[in-house]
Each structure stands twice: as structure tokens, then as C-alpha cells.
Amino acid sequence: MRRYRWVVDAALVVSAAVLGWRLVGAIPAPQPVRTSIERGASLNVPGVDWAKAETNVVLVTSSICPASRSNLALYKEIGRRTRAAGRSQFVVVSTEPVRQIHSWLSAAGVSDYVAVRSYDAPALGLVLSPMLLTVKASGTVTNVISGAVSESAYEATIDQLLR
């Protein structure tokens, strides 16, 4: 009886190993994703036409991010200045639903953006919040500012984004 038990145990182990090997082989290898975006990178946000403006200012934000919430006055001023410049557009992107971000920004008085878009963070390389980018009409990123901006640096930040 012991001899048969050993054979059955060995058969189960071999079967489990073969099945596991087949399952692992059936799982596709993960595709590499960009984990951050840098100057010179190309950015494609579905539904946004960069060519509509000479300079595009992109805000990557989240309504639950303390740093994003602390910079609402900056975002309001960026929106106002991009609209006044006439050759620029202000685009907001977030991993949250568009309606939620729109409501949050509207309640804070931030309204001079041309679009709010949801995005897949890893696929675009926009993994930090908040993040401010300048994107030229060609879709090339020319400025990247990550994290909260101190109130004393608002003016310099806006100048850097819109020059």
C-alpha cells in the first residue's frame, strides 16, 4: 500500500508542476511602462489636440492630493493667464472621473481650462500629483514641475510655464 501511495504522491507533484508551468507560460509578460515623464518626451493625452495652441499647460492633479489642494490659487491664476495669452491652452488630466475633477475645480474657482481628461497614469508616465507640464504644439514636453509649489514661487512658476 505504501508503494502505491508514493506513486500517487509523485504523480500529483509532477501534475501540479506541469500545470503550474503551463499557467505561467500562458500569462503574457508585462509591458514596460514609463514611470515618469521628462523634458523632450512626447505626450499623447486622448482627446487633446496640442496643435490648437502654441503652448499647452497641463495640470496633472487629484482632488484627494493635499499638495494639489494647497495649490488651487496657482491653478486658478494659470488658467486665467493662459486664457489671456490667447496662444495658450490649459488642460487638466487626472486618474479620477472627469465629472469629479470638474466639480472640484469649479467649486475652487478654477475654470479657465479647455479640457479635463481622465488618463491611465503609468501608460502616460504621469505618476506624480500635482505635476505641471508645458507641451508644445508638436506634443513635446518642454517643462516638468512636480509637487507642490510654494506661494512665494507662484509667479516664477507661471512665467516658466508660459514663456
> What's the CA dihedral at 141, 142, 143, 144 to 10 degrees?
30
**Angstrom distance (rounded) from CA 50 to CA 56:** 7
Provide the pLDDT confidence category of residue 1 given band limits of 50, 70 and 90.
Answer: low
**Angstrom distance (rounded) from CA 145 to CA 79:** 16
Higher confidence at residue 16 or residue 132?
A: 132
* pTM, to two decimals: 0.74
Higher confidence at residue 31 or residue 69?
A: 69
139-152 average pLDDT score: 90
> What's the CA dihedral at 149, 153, 159, 161 to 10 degrees?
-10
Higher confidence at residue 9 or residue 105?
A: 105
The count of other CB atoms within 10 Å of the CB of residue 16 is: 10
44-94 pLDDT, tens digit each: 888 889 999 999 999 988 888 888 999 999 999 999 998 888 888 999 998
137-160 average pLDDT score: 90
Residue 35 in this model has a pLDDT that exceeds 60: no
| CATH superfamily assigned to domain 50-162 | Glutaredoxin (3.40.30.10)
C-alpha cell at 97: 472621473
CB 137 within 8 A of CB 114: no
Is 130 exposed, middle or buried, given 0-12, 13-18 or 19+ CB atoms closer than 10 A?
buried
The count of other CB atoms within 10 Å of the CB of residue 153 is: 13
